[in-house]
Chain A
Amino acid sequence: MKQQNQEPIFDFRDVRVTFDTPDGTVEAVRGVDMHINAGETVAVVGESGSGKSQIMMASMGLLAANGSVSGSVTYRGQELIGLARSKLNKIRGAKITMIFQEPMTSLDPLYTVERQICEPIRVHGGLSASAARKRALELLKLVHIPDPERRMKSYPHEMSGGQRQRVMIAMALANDPDLLIADEPTTALDVTIQAEILGLLAELQKKLGMAILFITHDLGIVEAFADRVYVMQKGRVVETGETADIFQRAQKDYTKMLLAAEPEGHKPPVGDDQPILLDARDVCVTFSIKGGLLSGPGYEIKAVQNVGLTLRAGQTIGIVGESGSGKSTLGRALLQLLPSEGRVVYQGTSIQGFDRAAMRPFRRNLQMVFQDPYGSLSPRMTVGEIITEGLLVHEPGLSGRERDKRAIEALKEVGLDPSMRNRFPHEFSGGQRQRIAIARAVILKPTVIVLDEPTSALDRSVQKQIITLLRRIQKSHNLSFIFISHDLAVVKALSDYAIVMRSGKVVEEGPTGEVFDNPQSDYTKDLMEAAFNLREVLSRQAAARV
């Protein structure tokens, strides 16, 4: 992908972005210099809050109303900051185009794909309706949307995330741009879809020759995809250079930290002599969509089909799968949080079909931690109240002082300052909130914790700390985990047994080392390749096209 053309087309000089908030002025970008040459692929990498997206929004005049920008951004010598909107509108959408992270919401849900692709074509190219339609169809073919004629008439909600992102790419290419700014375009997608979209972008770049500015937090993508990298931290560029140089000879600590933030380590398997805590056989979950007089006939969705697992003391079973694979549903079914069929035995007692009251004595032993550290903590309770709430149910005899003591212990255990227990969840960062959620589970001294994507909303470096924490508490309490995640790297690091699910069924299972290093099924192979060997996958895709 290397391009020898050294003509800069997009140039940032001392760009600063600030936001006026009720708490005062916040500096999101603090003096950034950056340039992109024609035909080049540049990645801007950084964790959340580094300002990597805001700098692009500012350059395209898309800042929120309370944001302001200073400095200089030029496109082929023309200053964009302060440019009249009518003139800016000649450039954005035509010469510089963008695709966004949220393929679900970035398209207007009320209009067909055809209408949305045609709009920029007609506005910028001045094409007639029928010529624009023809062009739109060409573009859909270019981005390999199956059955493009029919898809033209589709609405966004009728398409998958990957297809919507293809539609966005088609829109972006409509007017033959010089530069495509891609703001985390694959973050919301499954790994196999991510590999397809990245492959598509690489193919189109080769065909059409535009430059790509890729904003991401994922270093795996940077390595596989970019010629040059800017590393951003807290609104500044801390390091820049050729991708290979950065990956082999990073100078700055922050870059080294990012590079080392990939989860690492393995968990040795537990022996067969360890007692079985949870034994599940033939678990099935079926969602029935009820029919009725007003809604027509009903139908059924088989979310989980005949899945079984055996969890021993101290063991971590990783359940991996892409969205819609039924992995979270399985986790909930095991804890009897939703109706299921099959057989679930916890330490010799069949808990299958237990209702809320019957499950109550088991709840303290079978805890759960959820993905969303924002939504799963009640915003109107203090952290102390949140983590001791379970004690009120399970140890009602405990005095207030005793509960407080337990809260202090639990917070210390998860690495939080106990003096913060009177604060509210919104005062904590995502990683801290996840620690609070873990403290809430650990305080009850459970034997099994089901962790449903506990690290997915976090930056890699924070993720690593949570993984270390989970390892530590597992060891000190001999806990068993069921770890549900779409993130294969995390599962590989944490679990000793892995189950791969797809469409509600188990595709493959076995000791983690075997499943990850020597996958048997084609699906697992694809998954592993897309997650761990993206560069290989992309170059194979490229080779296949030649």
Chain B
Amino acid sequence: MLGYAVRRLLGAIPTLFLIITFAFFLMRVAPGGPFDRERTLEAKVLENLNRVFHLDKPVWEQYFYYLGNLARGDLGPSFIYRDFSVQQLLGNGLPVSIQLGGLALLVALLIGCLLGTVAALRQNSWVDYSVIAVATFGITVPNFVVAPLLSLIFGVWFSLLPAGGWNSPESLVLPVITLALPQVAIIARLIRGSTIEALRSDHVRTARAYGLPTRMIVVVHALRAACLPVISYLGPAAAALLTGSVVVETIFGLPGIGRYFVQGALNRDYTLVMGTVIIIAVFVVIFNLIVDLLYAALDPRVRYD
């Protein structure tokens, strides 16, 4: 198991390398640069700035310079937030984003599993149909619609919760709901389908034939099997939460890394965007590894060695 984990992490290095390379050159292909403003800078100033940040060198040289720094663990200075390094910015933003994403994932799992199971056990009843309706709504309505709507209703009209900003724990409620909603929907549908399938399986029939109490059949024999597809989905879910947080953090004005990502991209803050990309990629890789290990722990037919 440990050997497998180490091999997987080593196997992720080429993946990360490709992501970094691709992101680096893609950024440079986009027109404009970090110091292009509405008011053009003096030629001399621009030249100095470019020299300080090595932007006067050919792109491939900048690329290797960046890789060299990266290998030493240096993400470089931010081009826009002059007094901060990328490490400092991400270090400030990451705790916010992790709280937001982690809570959203937790909420999505709890509510999604609950709704999905109830729907499966009451298949084709009004409970089932309502869960499916809510789930379809959650999947189809994009978060940039949900976010302002929630903010308007609970923040402005009823003044129950902060409409935005990062001041108190309550500030997290609306962003977490926005971020979790589509995941609740997807997980509920997954769990519903897999639970129905599990309840029809031969081994559940065996459990019934042996007179086991219904609660035991559902919890022990059906739900564990039904969880497996959700575990597999956690990898993509984590990626979706990270990218979803980019929009949500921007709309609610949370100082997480997602906001830096958007601002960085708009400002052509090359190093900041690269840093965010790397963080997100590492998260996705690690999460997928955790998912695979978790799957093996739950399903004895899967073994890594």
Contact = CB atoms under 8 A, between A and B. Distances in A.
A and B together in one complex: yes
Question: Main SS of chain B's interface residues?
Answer: helix
A110 B225 contact: yes
A171 B210 CA distance: 9
Nearest to A296: B305
Contacts of B298: 110
B159 to A, nearest CB: 48
Interface in A63-118: 64-65, 85, 88-94, 97-98, 100, 102, 105-112
Given A293-B11, A296-B305, A106 B210 contact: no
Contacts of A120: 210-212
A293 B3 CA distance: 11
Contact of B212 (A89, A98, A105, A155): A89
Nearest to B222: A108
Interface residues of B, number: 30
Contacts of A105: 201-203
Contacts of B209: 60, 62, 92-93, 97-98
A108 B7 contact: no
A111 B121 CA distance: 22
A90 B210 CA distance: 9
B214 interface: yes
B211 A92 contact: yes
B292 to A, nearest CB: 11
Nearest to A108: B203
A294 B206 contact: no
A294 B7 contact: yes
A64 B204 CA distance: 12
Interface string B213-224: 110100011001
Contacts of B200: 64
B300 interface: yes
A446 interface: no
Contacts of B170: none
Nearest to B204: A108
A119 interface: yes
A106 B202 contact: yes
A61 interface: yes
B211 A123 contact: yes
Contacts of A112: 300
B60 to A, nearest CB: 29
Question: Considering residues B8, B207, B216, B305, which has the most beta carbons from chain A within 10 angstroms of its beta carbon?
Answer: B207
B36 interface: no
A179 to B, nearest CB: 12
Contacts of A90: 211
Contacts of A61: 208
B198 to A, nearest CB: 10
B17 to A, nearest CB: 16
A40 B7 CA distance: 60
A62 B205 CA distance: 7
Given A100-B205, A119-B210, A123-B213, A110 B7 contact: no
Contacts of B301: 109, 155, 157
A109 B300 contact: yes
Contacts of A296: 305
A525 interface: no
Interface in B1-55: 4, 7-8, 10-11
A89 B300 contact: no
B208 A106 contact: no
B211 A91 contact: yes
Contacts of A109: 203, 225, 299-301
Contacts of A110: 224-225, 298-300
A163 B243 CA distance: 49
A90 B213 CA distance: 10
A106 B205 contact: yes
A: interface residue count bin: 35 or more
Interface in A104-143: 105-112, 119-120, 123-124
B294 to A, nearest CB: 13
Question: Considering residues B7, B209, B300, B301, which has the most beta carbons from chain A within 10 angstroms of its beta carbon?
Answer: B209
Nearest to B299: A110
A93 B203 contact: no
B119 to A, nearest CB: 15
A106 B210 CA distance: 12
B208 A62 contact: yes
Question: Considering residues B11, B210, B305, which has the most beta carbons from chain A within 10 angstroms of its beta carbon?
Answer: B210
A92 B203 contact: no
Interface in A14-54: none
Contacts of A93: 209-212
A445 B216 CA distance: 59
B211 A124 contact: yes
Question: Considering residues B8, B205, B221, B224, which has the most beta carbons from chain A within 10 angstroms of its beta carbon?
Answer: B205
A107 B211 contact: no
Contacts of A294: 4, 7-8, 11
A106 B208 CA distance: 11
A155 B203 CA distance: 13
Interface in B176-234: 200-203, 205-214, 216, 220-221, 224-225
B202 A92 contact: no
A92 B211 CA distance: 5
Nearest to A124: B211
Interface string B273-305: 000000000000000000000000011110001
Contacts of B211: 88-94, 120, 123-124
B109 to A, nearest CB: 19
A85 B214 contact: yes
A368 B38 CA distance: 74
B256 to A, nearest CB: 33
Nearest to B200: A64
A61 to B, nearest CB: 7
Contacts of A100: 202, 205-206
Contacts of A97: 209-210
Contacts of A102: 202
Nearest to B224: A110
A112 B220 CA distance: 13
A88 B214 CA distance: 12
A293 B10 CA distance: 10
Question: Considering residues A109, A110, A157, which has the most beta carbons from chain B within 10 angstroms of its beta carbon?
Answer: A110
Interface of A: 60-62, 64-65, 85, 88-94, 97-98, 100, 102, 105-112, 119-120, 123-124, 155, 157, 168, 171, 293-294, 296
> Closest 8 A-B residue pairs measured CB to CB?
A93-B210, A93-B211, A89-B211, A105-B202, A108-B203, A120-B210, A155-B300, A92-B211
Interface of B: 4, 7-8, 10-11, 123, 200-203, 205-214, 216, 220-221, 224-225, 298-301, 305
Given A123-B210, A293-B11, 17 more contacts: A60-B209, A90-B211, A93-B211, A94-B211, A97-B209, A102-B202, A106-B203, A108-B203, A108-B225, A109-B301, A110-B225, A120-B212, A171-B206, A293-B7, A293-B10, A294-B7, A294-B11
18 contacts: A93-B212, A105-B202, A107-B206, A108-B221, A108-B225, A110-B224, A110-B298, A110-B299, A110-B300, A111-B221, A120-B210, A123-B212, A155-B301, A157-B300, A168-B206, A293-B11, A294-B4, A294-B8
